[in-house]
Structure 1
Amino acid sequence: MIFPVLGVPDMTDSTASPGLPGRLLGDPEMIAACAVRDFAVVFQLAKRKGGFHPSRIARACELTPSRVGEVMKGKPKITNIAVIERIADGLRIPGHMLGLAARSWEQPALPPQRQPTAEVLPALRVENPSSGGELDEILAIAAGTRVTPTVLRSLQASIEDYWRRDDEHGGEALRPAVIGQLRYVTGILRDTADPNHRHSLHGIAGELARLTGWTYFDARQYSTGRAYFTQALRLAREIDDRPFIANVLACLSLQATYQDKPQDAITLARAAQDNACIDGATPRLLAMLSMREAFGHASAHNKESTHRALGDAHRHFERIGQGDEDPAWVQYFDRTKLTVDTGIALGQLGDPTAAEPLIADALRTEPATNLRGRAFHTFWLARTQLDRGDAESACATASQALDLAAAVDSPRVAAHLQEFRHLLRPYRAAPAAVDLIGRINELTG
C-alpha cells in the first residue's frame, strides 16, 4: 500500500519537477529509508524508481558523482546536517521525512523579493563603498579625513567589544552594527592619504569584514559569509598582513568543515599555515591553525592524519612563551580551547571514550559568559555520551545545552540541537528523551 505525502505533487515524469515524484516519496520503502537517513537506499530508489541517475542526484544535491556512487554502495554514510539539508532541498524531500524542520519550499509561495548577493552587498568593495543610509553619511561627513590615533584606538576597542558580544550571545543581532561600522571605515579609508593611517584602517576594515563573514557563517548563510571572508583577504593583502590572512583562511576552513567539504577544509588550513609561517607566526597561532587542519581530517575520518595534526597543535601550544607578540584575535585560543577542540576532533573521529573527559574538563574551566561556546561544547559532551550508549546522561547534558542555546541567537547551535534530536530516535520511548525532544521542537520550531 502506498501512502500519499501531503504537499508533494505526484508527477510521474521525473523531469517535470526539480525533485522526486510524489509517488516515490509516498513509497513505504522510501519513507523507511528517510526515517533512518539511509541515503544509500534513498539514492538507489531515486535511480531505480524515480529515474534519477547519479549525475543528476549529484547536481541536485551539490555533491560529486563519485561521492554519490560511494554513498549508493554504503560508504561513507552521510551524517553532516548541512549535506542532509542539501539532499532534502535538492530532491525535494519534505523535512519531516528526514527529521528536519519544514523546508522553505514547503511553505506557501510568497511574492518574489530581491535578495542581496555577494556582488551587491554595500560594504564588500573598498573602492566603491555605499553611503549605507543617513547615519553612515553623517558619520563619514563628520570624520572627513581627520583620522587620529585616538580614532584608531576607538575603532579597535569597538572590534574587541564585538568579539566579546559575539562569543556571549551569537552574531545575529550584532551583524547590523558591524556592517555599519565596516561601511564607515571603508568610507574614511577612501578619504585618508596618510600611509600609516591607511595601513591601520586596512587592518580594521579587514577585521570588520572577517567578523561580518563570521556572523553570516554562524547564521549558516555560507555563500554570503564566504564573500565577506574574501573581502577580508583582499584588505589584508593590501597591507601584506600574513598572520591575518591565515586567520581568515582558518575561518574559511572551519566553514568548509561545516559544509562537509573536508578536503577543502584541509587545503585552506594548510594554506593558512603557509601564510602564517612567512611572517614568523607565533606558537599560539600555529596551534590554532593545526587544530583547524585536525578538524578537516576528523571530518574525513582520517584517523592517522587527525592525530598527527592534533599532535602538532599540542606541540606548538607548549612552545608558547610570555614574550610572544600574539595578535589580539588569536588570544582566545588558550589551554581550555585547546582541550575542548581536541575532544571535539576525537568525537568527530568516532572516539567518544577519549573525547568525553576532555570536553567535560574544558567545560569546568570555560568562562561562564561564553554562552554560545558553552552551548556548542555541552552539546558535544552530550553527543559523546550518547555515542557511548549512555542515553540518560546524554539527555541530562543536552538539556543543559538547550538552556544555553535559548540564551543565544545562533542558527549553528539550533542545527546541532536538531541533529541531536535525530540521534535520539533509538531512545525516543524513554521519558527523558520524550521530554528533551519536546523542548528541542519548541526551541527550534
Structure 2
Amino acid sequence: MIGYEPPTALPRDLLERADMRAAIAAHDFGTVFSLARSEAKISYSKIATECDIKPNRVGELARGQGSVTTFEKIARIADALRIPGHMLGLAARDWEAGVPAVDLRGEDVRRRKFVKAAVGGGLAAGLPVLTRPPVGRRIGSDLPRQLRERTARLRRLDDILGGGDTYPVYVSEYQDTKSIIRDYQHTEATRQGLLSVLAEQAQQAGWAAFDAGRSGDATSLYKASYMAAVEAQDPALAGNALAFLAYQSVNRQDGMETATRSVEEAGPEAPPSVRALLNERLAWAYAVAGCGTECERALEAAGAALAEADDTPQPDWAAWVDATELQIMAGRCWTELRRPLRAVPVLTKALNSYADAHARDKSLYLSWLATSYLHAGEVEEAAKVVGRALDLAAEVASVRPRQRLNPLIEQLHPHHGLSAVADVLEKASVA
C-alpha cells in the first residue's frame, strides 16, 4: 500500500544496485537473501517467515546451495520482498504506445500483479491483456511485432519453470492469437505476420506440453505450427516445427527423416542460429539411431553455422543456441553412441559453466553425464552426478528429468554396497 513498507520490503536503492538486479534477473535468490541481510539488515529468520521458507533453507540458498525453481515459491519470495515484475523479465507494456502500462516504481505495485493471475497460476499476468477493438474492426499492422515481443518475454519462463507450470500460459497465448486471426479484419501482410507468430506460439506451447508429459498435445501443436508457418511463408519456423516432431519421435527412422526434412525446409538462407539449432537436432536423431558418422557431420554443420553468427539479430526462439549448448548436444550424442571418452570431457566442461538456475535442463544434461560414467564403469562418479541431478530436479514441474534418472537409479541398485551409491539411492527413495 502507498506509504507502507513491511519489514521485508527491499529498499528501492538496494533494488537498483547492479548486483541485486543481476541476482534477481538470474533468479539467484540466495544472493538476494544475502544482500538483503548485509545491506538492508533483514534477518534470515524474517526472510524465512515472510517468504514461507525454512530458516535453514534460506541460509543454504545464501551460501549458494541449491536454487528456487517453482513458480509458487518464486511468487511468494517476490511478493514478500516487493520485487516488481519487470525485474523478472515480465514488465507490462502498453500495446499501443509500447511503454510501461503502470508505474513500476510506485510503492503500491505488487509483484503478484505481474506474475500471478487469479486462475491456474497464469504467469502471463506480467503482461497486459490485449485491448481488442470490437469484432470486425481492423487490427493494426504493428500487432504481429507486439505479439512477437510478448511471446519472447514469456519464453523466458521456460528458463526456470517446467512445462507443468508454463503449458496453460503458452497454450492460452496460442488460442488468443488464433481468435485474433479469425475474428478481426487485417491486411494480407498483417495476416502473414500473425500466422508466423501463431506458429511460434504453437511451438512454445508444444514444448511445454512435451515437458509436462502431454505428448499427444505436443504433437498436435507441432503439426499446427508447421501448417501456420507454411501459410505464413516462414521456412525457418516450418523447419523448426519439423525438428520438434523429430525430437519427439519414438521411431528412429521417422526421426531421422523428419529431422533431415527440417534442415531442408529451413534452407541455407535461414539465420545462422536456426541452422545451428536444426543441425543439432539432426545430429541427435542420428545419434539415437546409432549413425555416428552422420551425427558427427551434423554437429560440424551446426558448429559452422554458429561460426557465421555476426551482429545481425537472430530469431528469439533460436537465439539461445551457443557454443555451450552445442557442446552439451555433442556430449549427449557421444553418450547415446556409447563413446564415454568423448562424452565425459565435453559434458563436464560445458556443465561446469551452466547455471543451476536452469534446474530442469541442467538435471537432464547431468543424466547423460551419469550415463557416460556408467558406460565407462565409473559407478561412484555416476552416483554422484545422479545425486546432483536429483537435487536440481526436485522442485521442477517437468516429468523429463525423473524419466531420465529412474533407469540410471535402477542400474545403480546392484552397487548399493558402495557408499556413494547408497547415498543416492536413499535420496531417490524420498525424492
Structure-2-length-normalised TM-score = 0.66
2:271 paired with 1:282: yes
Letter in 2 for 1:251: F
Q: 2:299 aligns with which of 294, 310, 324?
A: 310
1:233 equivalent in structure 2 = 226
Q: Corresponding residue for 2:257?
A: 267
| C-alpha displacement of 1:371 | 1.9
Aligned partner letter, 1:225: A
Conserved? CA contact 2:162–2:212, under 8 Å: no
Matches of 1:359 and 1:411 in 2, distance apart?
A: 22
Name the counterpart of 1:189.
181
CA distance in 2, matches of 1:193, 1:322: 33
Cα offset for 1:211? 1.3
Q: Letter of the aligned partner of 2:215 in structure 1?
A: Y
Shift of residue 349 of structure 1? 0.5
Q: CA deviation at 1:162?
A: 2.6
Distance 2:143 2:302 in 1: 37
Q: Is the 8 A contact 2:140 2:186 kept in 1?
A: no
How many Å separate the matches in 2 of 1:238 and 1:296?
Answer: 27
Answer whether contact 1:218 1:412 (CA < 8 A) is retained: yes
Q: How many residues align?
A: 304
CA drift at 1:142: 4.2
1:167 equivalenced with 2:159 (yes/no) = yes
- 1:293-331 CA-to-partner distances (Å, cap 9, x unmatched) read 1111111112222222222222332232334x4222111
**Are 2:429 and 1:441 equivalent residues in the alignment?**
yes
User: Residue deviations 1:180-203, cap 9 Å, x none?
Assistant: 222211111111322232222212
Give the Cα–Cα distance (whole angstroms) in 2 for the partners of residues 283 and 141 of structure 1: 36
Distance in 2 separating the partners of 1:149 and 1:392 = 59
Corresponding residue number in structure 1 for 2:239? 246
1:247–1:358 Cα change, 3 Å: same
Q: Is the 8 A contact 2:383 2:421 kept in 1?
A: yes
Q: Percent identity?
A: 26
Distance 1:410 1:391 in 2: 26
Contact conserved, 1:210 with 1:232, CA < 8 A, in 2? yes
> Which amino acid counterpart does residue 184 of structure 1 have in structure 2?
D
Corresponding residue number in structure 2 for 1:339:
327
Could you give the per-residue CA deviations for residues 164-220 of structure 1, whole angstroms, max 9, x where no partner exists?
111211111111112222221111111132223222221221111111111121123
Cα-to-partner distance string for 1:105-164 (whole Å, 9 max, x where unaligned):
xxxxxxxxxxxxxxxxxxxxxxxxxxxx9x9xxx68844345346654442233123321
Question: Which residue of 2 is the match for residue 213 of structure 1?
Answer: 206
Alignment-derived partner of residue 222 in structure 1: 215
Structure 1 stretch 377-386 or stretch 222-231: which is displaced more?
Answer: 377-386
2:312 is the counterpart of 1:329: no
Find the aligned partners of 2:309 and 2:278 in 1 and give their Cα distance: 14
The Cα RMSD (Å) is: 2.4
SS for the counterpart of 2:165 is coil
Deviation per CA, 1:231-282, whole angstroms, max 9, x where unpaired?
11111111111000011111111111xx2x221111111111111116x112
Distance 1:283 1:369 in 2: 27
Where do 5+ consecutive residues of structure 1 fail to align? 1-132
Q: Residue 247 of structure 1 contacts residue 272 of structure 1 at CA under 8 Å; is this kept in 2?
A: yes
Q: Contact 2:138–2:186 (CA<8 Å) still a contact in 1?
A: no
1:23-172 to 2 correspondence within 5 Å? 142-144=132-134, 145=137, 147-148=139-140, 151-172=143-164
Provide the residue aligned with 1:255 in structure 2. Answer: 248
CA distance in 2, matches of 1:386, 1:160: 39
Match for 1:341: what amino acid?
M
Point out where structure 2 has 5 or more consecutive residues left out of the alignment: 1-118, 123-128
Q: CA deviation at 1:292?
A: 1.1
1:63 corresponds to = none
